[in-house]
Amino acid sequence: MPLFSKSHKNPAEIVKILKENMAILEKQEKKTDKV
């Protein structure tokens, strides 16, 4: 995932993207725990 390839984004956008990625990772971890 090219997170920092577009360095013209403002900090708020970067934080938003990071939070979304963390949420996705948490969902994936919960799914793997159930298996």
Is residue 17 in a domain? yes
CA distances to 11, 20, 30 from 34, rounded to whole Å, are: 35, 22, 7
Is residue 2 in a domain? no
How does pLDDT run across 7-27, given as a tens digit for each residue?
A: 666 788 888 989 999 999 999
> Quick one: 32 exposed, middle or buried, by C-beta within 10 A (0-12, 13-18, 19+)?
exposed
The pTM score is: 0.54
Domain that holds residue 28: 10-35
CA angle 10/28/32 to nearest 5° reads: 160
Is residue 33 in a domain? yes
Pure H helices in the chain: 11-34
Confidence of residue 6 (pLDDT cuts 50, 70, 90): low
- Per DSSP, the three-state class of 32 is helix
